[in-house]
Amino acid sequence: MSGLIGKKLGMTRIFDEKGNDVQVSVIQTGPCYVTEIRTQDRHGYDALQLGFEEKRDKSVKQPERGHFKKSGVKPMRYLREVRTFDVSQFKLGDVIKADIFQVGEEVKVIGISKGKGFQGVVKRHHFGGGPVSHGQSDRRRAPGSVGGSSYPSRVYKGTRMAGQMGNARVTVRNLKVVRVDAENNIVMVRGGVPGARNGMVLISK
C-alpha cells in the first residue's frame, strides 16, 4: 500500500484498445520528497511525511526552514503524512514518483470540493420545490415545512436546509488507473475527482 500527494490538472478523454471513449481525470502525482519519518518506537505509529511542489525560500518561516534543512530538501508547499508505506525502506530526502502506480489498479482520491457558497435547498439537497398553484407564486424553490408545531415543536438536528455548500473534504473510492506516464509523473484515473483545477489531492492505493 502507498499514496502520493498530487495536483488535479483537469479532465480529458482517451481511447482504449477497443476504441471506446474513456473519460479520465489527469493528476500530477509527485515527485514527492520524504521530509520526515514517523516510527512506532518514537511516535507510536509508522508514517512518511511527504512534501510536494517547491515554493520560494522567502515565503518560508524560520521553523519550517529548519525542518526542510534537516531532511535535505527544498521548501515544499504541501506536507502530508501517509501511513501506507513501509517506512523501513526509506530515508530522509528520498524521492517517490508516479511509477508506484500500475495500470489497472484501483485507487482512492481525497480532495477539497469546489466551494459553492450559500445555496438553497434545491441546489444543495436536490429538493423538488413546492407546488405553484392556488395563487402561490413564491413557493417554487422553497423548502416547505421543517417541523411540526404541536409535535415535536422544534426542528430536528440535521434537517436539510439552505446553507454553505461545497468546500469540504471528499473521498472518491475505487477509481481505476487507466494510464501512467512515469516520465512526467502523470496518472490518469477513470472518472472525476473532487476539487478545481490545480487543487491538491491525495491519491492512494
Task: Please give the full DSSP string across 81-112, using - where no structure is assigned.
Answer: EE-SS-GGG--TT-EE-GGG--TT-EEEEEEE
DSSP H helix total and E strand total for the chain: 3, 12
Cα distances (Å, whole numbers) of residue 71 to 7, 58, 93: 23, 19, 6
What are the tens digits of pLDDT across the range 168-194? 999 999 999 999 998 999 999 999 999
Specify the pairing of strand 169-181 against strand 186-190: antiparallel
| Res 114: pLDDT | 95
CATH number for the domain whose boundaries are 1-29+98-129+160-205? 2.40.30.10
Within 10 A of 55 (CB to CB), how many other CB atoms are there?
14
Domain boundaries, the chain: 1-29+98-129+160-205, 31-96
Angstrom distance (rounded) from CA 143 to CA 82? 42
pLDDT tens digit sequence for 86-137: 888 888 888 999 989 999 999 999 999 999 999 999 999 999 988 888 888 8
Q: What's the CATH fold of domain 31-96?
A: Double Stranded RNA Binding Domain (3.30.160)
Global model pTM greater than 0.95: no
Amino acid in the structure at residue 170 = V
